Amino acid sequence: MDKLIEKAIETPYGTKTIAVHAMDLNNLDEELDVMTVSAFFHSYSPNAGTMMETLLKKGISVWQLSKDPEIDLRENANIWLSREIEEADLPIRHVGCIEMSPVSYDRNAWRQRQTDILHSIRAYFHMLQIASLSGMKIETLGLPILGSGMQKISSDLIMIPVLNECVNFLQTNEQIRKIHIIARSQKLTYQFAKTLDQSYALTENVSAHPQRQFLEANGSLAFISYSSKDKNIADNLCARLENNGIRVWYAPRDIQTNDYATAIVNAIKRSTHFIVILSKNSLNSQHVLNEINLAFSELNRGIHFKPLKIDEEELGAAFVYYLSRQHWMDAHIPPLEKRLDEFVQKVLTDKE
């Protein structure tokens, strides 16, 4: 495969790596213990340009493998893992499949598709963890950029959450040592390579990273308040802010203690900007309301309130109390990636 970039990840189990490649398996020079494919539910047609077509040309039929998998969690999680492949023209030992729901073209359906894909990836990684604990050798994994094809999710929005899920998997799985991200086009390959290259918070010693040193020297500190159900969007916003030189305090990434509440309070007291992602999820979160209350008490010292509203849910009474006099930005009209960039520019205008 045509490798574009490779980056080391420090984990409790030693140094591991993430590499980005173009989708060309003809030059596969390293054995993959598991090659991941995506499919619509119970549909394994090798459509033109898909990974399944590429595998079929090399003697690996996903449809045949689906008939008798090693692990079958389709009924509960729409994922499965094949038995060991005995004869093929590629050094691939197993195929893992993530099956996704049919595409809905409703204006706001993309957000649910993105959430569903991230849930599927987490479930898939849990399945691989089970396989590892059961004695299956899984040291190398091939993973396409899910959702950027037929699911019609913006690659700009899916890359950072997928990358974060990969890093978390490397941090928690003892056996796996390398993930190969495989993009379906040169454009996607370069996009993901750039995303990986700019993701400074991947190593254990982030304080030594030049980008972190630059941000530490910057007087601004933005606190992001969000519902865990909107973490994919918060991940994207965090990365965009930091790529523009704004230091971010972001839970759970920046919590270095078991005292979660104290860490939150201290971070808000040190912040120059309080950013809250408003959505149906966060408007039903007592934790988000508590964080808004804490930030509200800091208004007298000049903390900047920066609400970002990502859907059309009406504010409840408690949120109206705190936010009615704060200007928020509406970001529910796609494309969200453009709205996030616009929001970051607004934050930059208030940077101290």
Can you give the pLDDT at residue 213?
47
Q: What is the pLDDT of residues 150-181, one digit of tens each?
A: 555 666 777 888 888 898 899 899 999 999 99
Yes or no: say if 4 and 22 are a contact pair by the CB < 8 Å rule.
Answer: yes
- Mean pLDDT, rounded, of the chain: 84
**Largest distance between two CA atoms of the chain:** 70
Mean pLDDT computed over 325-352? 84
Mean pLDDT computed over 185-213? 62
Model confidence at 208: pLDDT above 60: no
Q: Which of 269, 336, 258, 349 is nearest to 306 (CA)?
A: 349
**Cross-strand bridge partners of residue 223:** 249, 274
Give this prediction's pTM: 0.75
Q: Could you give the percent of the chain with pLDDT greater than 70?
A: 84
* Tokens 């999820």 -> residue: 281
Assigned fold of 3-202? Leucine Aminopeptidase, subunit E; domain 1 (3.40.220)
Query: According to the per-residue pLDDT averaged within each range, which of 47-56, 82-91, 183-192 is highest?
Result: 82-91
Model confidence at 198: pLDDT above 80: no
Can you give the pLDDT at residue 157?
75
| 74 Cβ contact partners less than 8 Å away, ≥ 6 residues apart | 42, 80, 99
Grade residue 32 by pLDDT with cuts at 50, 70 and 90.
very high
**Cross-strand bridge partners of residue 21:** 3, 182
Q: Within 10 Å of residue 172's Cβ, how many Cβ atoms?
A: 14
Mean pLDDT computed over 260-281? 94
Residues of the chain with CATH 3.40.50.10140: 206-349
Q: Tell me the CATH number for domain 206-349.
A: 3.40.50.10140
Mean pLDDT computed over 86-113? 74
Model confidence at 205: pLDDT above 50: no
* Tokens 């101290």 -> residue: 352
* Weakest mean pLDDT among 67-81, 184-198, 225-239: 184-198
Query: Could you tell me how far CA 295 lies from the centroid of its own chain?
Result: 27
Grade residue 218 by pLDDT with cuts at 50, 70 and 90.
low
* Weakest mean pLDDT among 85-89, 140-144, 169-173: 85-89
Can you give the pLDDT at residue 215?
46
Query: Could you tell me how far CA 331 lies from the centroid of its own chain?
Result: 20
Can you give the pLDDT at residue 151?
52
* Weakest mean pLDDT among 112-121, 302-311, 340-349: 112-121
Residues of the chain with CATH 3.40.220.10: 3-202
